[in-house]
Amino acid sequence: MNKKIQQAFAVAAAATLTLGVVSVSQAQAAVKSVSIAYQGPLSGGEAQTGIDEQNAVKFAIKQYMA
């Protein structure tokens, strides 16, 4: 009985490794994306300044991607 448990464990480990390799391969094939953070006031007394800065960031990204 102990040998059957070892065989089942070996099969489960092999399946796990195989699935891990497949998911890593798919992740590498995916399109790479970049996150850009912006920190500024979007509400309150300085909201207009923050909104202008946010729009400038969006504009710069559009210009870069063009």
Percent of the chain at pLDDT > 70 equals 53
Whole-model pTM: value is: 0.48
Average pLDDT estimate for 2-18:
62
Residue 21 confidence (pLDDT) above 60: no
Which of left, alpha, beta for 44 (phi over 0: left; psi -120 to 50: alpha)? left
pLDDT at 59: 93
Check pLDDT > 90 for residue 10.
Answer: no
Measured between its terminal Cα atoms, the distance across the chain in Å is: 65
